[in-house]
Amino acid sequence: MPFNTVTKPVRSLMNQVVTVKGRFFPDTTNNPSATYNIGRGWSVVRSDVGKFTVTFVDVGVKVLNMKANLQLPVGTLADIDVKCCEIDLSAKTLVLQCYLTSDGTTAKEPTAYNASQSISFEVDFINSTVDY
């Protein structure tokens, strides 16, 4: 039997989980341009120094997992990273904060728009009140 033949479909024990992924390109003190956003079901605005608020079209009743990553241009040595700060299910928002890695707390502004610099995020929402 060829390896690419699926005889049994993949099943999940957590079929009530919905993952929302996105990627946007920060631009110093400006809001990220929606033209370059990758992903559906969300929008983003710059809300403070290095802080971005992602607003979801819809959310689940709980959050299973959330993470964020900062991609920098090749050869860039930067003392900056991004983290998920807070999520508010009633407001349908996730706050992402860029910060200095040297101290882990000081807010840091990403550089001007660059197609090689982006912030990506992933949130797993649970659509059931059943605990997993």
Q: Does residue 70 have a pLDDT over 70? A: yes
Determine contact, residues 119/23, Cβ cutoff 8 Å: yes
Domain ranges of the chain: 17-126
Mean pLDDT, the chain, whole residue set: 83
Beta strands 51-56 and 42-48, pairing class: antiparallel
CATH of the domain spanning 17-126, picked from 1.10.150, 2.60.40, 1.10.3470, 2.30.29: 2.60.40
Which tokens sit at 52? 């971005």
Single out the residue of 64, 67, 62 nearest to residue 54, CA to CA.
Answer: 67
Q: Give the global pTM.
A: 0.81
Q: What is the C-alpha to C-alpha distance for residues 65 and 59, in angstroms, rounded to an integer? A: 13
- pLDDT tens profile 27-52: 888 899 899 999 999 999 999 988 99
**Percentage of the chain exceeding pLDDT 90:** 40
